[in-house]
């Protein structure tokens, strides 16, 4: 099975999720460092829809840059995420069984 992780190597939860994927037999892991290669608008909306998340739930609200948009509409939040991908909460993992925002990292097991 293939698993794609939208990964930030500086994030401990993202690193732990990647470790679970790499340690699981039969998993072919594709790592996308989303800060270097951000998803398109369509891809991000698809990931959120498949994960059952709203755009607001996908916002990394801890970030300083999120302060001004926390109460904005989805289109504004999405535009901000696309222009500054650090605002995308991580890690997102997709497999043929679905998509999960893996916070905590054990949530990845739901789709393996």
Nearest to 81 by CA among 90, 10, 13: 90
Bridge partners of 3, per DSSP, are 29
Residue range 21-71, pLDDT digits in tens? 999 999 999 999 999 999 999 999 999 999 999 999 999 999 999 999 989
Backbone φ and ψ for 47, nearest 5 degrees, come out as -60, -45
User: 2-111 sits in which CATH class?
Assistant: alpha beta
pLDDT in tens, 46-58: 999 999 999 999 9
Enumerate the domain spans of the chain. 2-111
Closest by Cα among 101, 79, 97, 109 to 13? 101
The continuous run of DSSP H or E covering 99 comes out as strand 98-101
Tokens of 36: 């270097």
Catalytic residues: 11
For helices 41-51 and 74-83, the axis angle rounded to 10 degrees is 120
């Amino acid at each position: 099975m293939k698993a794609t992780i939208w990964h930030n190597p500086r994030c401990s939860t993202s690193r732990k999720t990647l470790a679970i994927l790499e340690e699981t037999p039969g998993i072919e892991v594709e790592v996308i460092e989303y800060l270097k290669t951000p998803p398109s608008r369509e891809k991000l909306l698809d990931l959120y829809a498949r994960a059952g998340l709203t755009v607001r739930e996908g916002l990394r609200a801890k970030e300083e840059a999120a302060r001004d948009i926390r109460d904005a509409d989805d289109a504004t939040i999405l535009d901000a995420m696309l222009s500054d991908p650090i605002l995308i909460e991580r890690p997102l993992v997709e497999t043929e069984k679905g998509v999960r925002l893996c916070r905590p990292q054990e949530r990845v097991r739901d789709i393996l």
